[in-house]
Amino acid sequence: MGMAASQVRLLQLTSRKNTIGRQLESLSLQKTSLTREMQGISKDYQNALSSKTLKWSTNSGASYVDLSYANLMRPGSANNNTPYLITDKSGKVVLDNKYKQYAEMISPNGAPGGDWEANRAEILSSLTGIPAEDIEASEAANAQLETSADKVNTLQAEVDKALEDCSKSTKDTDFMILFGDLPAQYDWDFTDPVNLGYSYEAGLQSESGSHHLGLNTQDPNAAKQLMDELFEILKGNAKNHLTDEDYEAFAKACDETKTEYHDFIDAFESGYYACGDDKSSVLNQYGVAVSKRTQGEGVNTDGKFFIRISNLVENLLRNYEAAGGSCKQNSVDSNIMYYSTVDRNSAEYQTYETKKAELDAAKAEYDEAVDTSNQTLTSEQESSIAFYDKIFSAIAENGWTANSQVSDNDYLNQMLQNNRYYITTVETATDDDGKEYFEYDTNSATNFDNIFQVNDSDAQEAALVEYEYQKSIINEKESRIDTRMQNLETEQSAINEMIKGIETVRNDNTERTFSIFS
């Protein structure tokens, strides 16, 4: 009976030992699984540490803002009120739900070729809050402004052509000959009437390099008065040979040169140009603008003022060029200047005058159109309208597609980084007829100047939190498994001891029994 009971107990312990073995094996597999799970979590965390995100910058990457749909497709400081279109591979503009409702009014099915102008005022009024009638008035004013500008440009070309037809290019000496005559009653050179142009030309060809104009006075104030009269005579002579603009420049040059000669006369009287007692040497050797002769040949020139004609003409022409007079250098000899002259009595000049009057009237109309346009809307309103004009013109021309997820920054970022979406800029250009149109330039986001790929700190922080959380769960599971395995191993050791004791007793009983019957 005792041996039978021991055998039953041994079988029970053996069964329990086998169960513990299977449990330990299962727990060991669970631990291995937790190790693999921890490796996966660690890998995800490492991937997150190297993850990149796209950011928007308007200062070459010195600072960033989120790359969001609003920062690209809504007017604001982030984009400096300039739209940056989000487009798909076919070039269609990607729209959120807000823009979709307006795009459907332009092209119901999103196809290219929609009509933006038909609903422009209504859509812009809804988006900007500007009354539709004000938008329409602004559009009419801008149309008038464009018409006026075209008219001005056309007439300007006609005026330029008419001026070219009536103008003559005259070299410097001939330019002065046209209006260089001085009347005889002034007795400028004590002999005959003088033409400054001829005298200048003769001086250039003579060995001395200049001729002189005698003022026939010793008094500096009288000399100044004569110089004033001289320049007024030149103004009168030039009136019929220059356009209004060039005559204004010539009159300004005469006044400027007259002031200079007042200073020259004062400087000579103060002894600035003196050369010993013989001032005639100053006149002949140093080429000063103003001088006096102490002796003359055949005429009474003692102590009277003389003007060096080369200085006079060159100073006048220099001041004329500085005042904006029409002139250009000779293409062969850079020392020769050519000046534009006209004949006001010619039929060609009368055509020019008529065209110019038409141009002046057109410019006045243009200025009035500018004032009207400026008074219709504020600059802020015009900027806002220009922003939406670019977006919806692109929608009409290139088509559109809607995606409600595009407002989610993470989704948009992913689509841009994967080159599923692109960034398209809109620039205003002008065709050969002067008409404005929009040009589109599409680029991948990662190659766009205002977009920078940076470490995703948000993703890294979120990954760290997730890593620590999952790690704590795994550690807790592993701790429970370790405790369970330790308990099972302890129980297993106890069972082994118990089995060993039963087997010892059994073996002893068996040995005793067989020894009795032997």
- Would you say residue 144 lies in a domain? no
End-to-end CA distance of the chain: 21
Cα angle: 211, vertex 213, 218; to 5 degrees: 135
- Rounded CA-CA distance 181/235 in Å is 11
Is the CB of residue 304 less than 8 Å from the CB of residue 316?
no
- The kind and range of the H/E element at 445 are none
- Rounded CA-CA distance 322/500 in Å is 124
Confidence check: pLDDT of 34 > 70:
yes
Which one is predicted more confidently, 452 or 390? Answer: 390
- Rounded CA-CA distance 14/148 in Å is 109
- Rounded CA-CA distance 292/161 in Å is 49
Confidence check: pLDDT of 503 > 60:
yes
Same domain, 175 and 37: no
> Which of 408, 437, 455 is the C-terminal boundary of a domain?
455
> Three-class SS of residue 219?
coil
- Rounded CA-CA distance 83/404 in Å is 19
Same domain, 325 and 180: yes
- Boundaries of domain holding 95: 58-113+380-455
pLDDT at 333: 65
Same domain, 298 and 341: yes
pLDDT at 186: 73
- Rounded CA-CA distance 35/320 in Å is 93
Confidence check: pLDDT of 209 > 80:
no
Confidence check: pLDDT of 194 > 60:
yes
Same domain, 97 and 186: no
pLDDT at 279: 45
> Which of 335, 352, 369 is the C-terminal boundary of a domain?
352
- Rounded CA-CA distance 142/51 in Å is 50
Same domain, 30 and 79: no
Same domain, 277 and 396: no
- Would you say residue 34 lies in a domain? yes
Q: Structurally, how many domains does the chain consist of?
A: 3
Least confident of 7-11, 55-59, 493-497: 7-11
Question: Per residue in 260-274, pLDDT tens?
Answer: 999 888 888 876 554
Question: Per residue in 284-319, pLDDT tens?
Answer: 444 578 877 654 444 455 678 888 888 899 999 999
Same domain, 36 and 69: no
Question: Per residue in 13-33, pLDDT tens?
Answer: 777 778 887 887 888 888 888
> Three-class SS of residue 326?
coil
Residue 405, token pair as written in the block: 């997820």
Question: Per residue in 65-86, pLDDT tens?
Answer: 888 999 999 998 888 899 999 9
- Would you say residue 415 lies in a domain? yes
Q: Residues 228, 234, 240, 241: what is their CA dihedral angle, to the nearest 10 degrees?
A: -140
pLDDT at 122: 94
Q: Which residues is 419 bridged to in the sheet?
A: none
- Would you say residue 128 lies in a domain? no
Max alpha carbon distance in the chain (Å)?
187
Question: Per residue in 137-184, pLDDT tens?
Answer: 988 988 898 899 989 999 999 999 999 999 999 998 899 999 998 887
Which one is predicted more confidently, 37 or 418? Answer: 418
Q: Give the single-character DSSP code of 170.
A: E
CB atoms within 10 A of CB 510: 11
Q: Is the pTM of this model over 0.85?
A: no
Residue 370, token pair as written in the block: 């500018």
Q: What is the CA radius of gyration of the chain?
A: 51
Burial class (CB in 10 A: 0-12, 13-18, 19+), 298: exposed
Q: Residue 64 — very low, low, confident or very high, per pLDDT cuts 50/70/90?
A: confident
Confidence check: pLDDT of 410 > 50:
yes
- Rounded CA-CA distance 354/361 in Å is 11
> Which of 455, 471, 489 is the C-terminal boundary of a domain?
455
- Rounded CA-CA distance 317/325 in Å is 9
- Would you say residue 142 lies in a domain? no
- Rounded CA-CA distance 75/84 in Å is 10
Which one is predicted more confidently, 48 or 493? Answer: 493
Same domain, 215 and 294: yes
Q: Give the single-character DSSP code of 279.
A: H
- Rounded CA-CA distance 181/168 in Å is 20
Same domain, 222 and 190: yes
- Rounded CA-CA distance 336/24 in Å is 111
Greatest mean pLDDT among 296-310, 456-470, 496-510: 496-510
- Rounded CA-CA distance 482/488 in Å is 10
Is the CB of residue 453 less than 8 Å from the CB of residue 446?
yes
Same domain, 92 and 43: no
Instruction: Decide the pairing of beta strands 167-171 and 93-95.
Output: unpaired
- Would you say residue 136 lies in a domain? no
Q: Give the single-character DSSP code of 302.
A: B
The amino acid present at 132, given as its one-letter code, is A
- Rounded CA-CA distance 111/99 in Å is 15
- pLDDT (mean) for 431-446: 85
- Would you say residue 118 lies in a domain? no
Among residues of the chain, what percentage have pLDDT more than 90? 42
Same domain, 446 and 471: no
Same domain, 44 and 96: no
Q: Residue 515 — very low, low, confident or very high, per pLDDT cuts 50/70/90?
A: low
Confidence check: pLDDT of 100 > 50:
yes
- Would you say residue 38 lies in a domain? yes
pLDDT at 47: 61
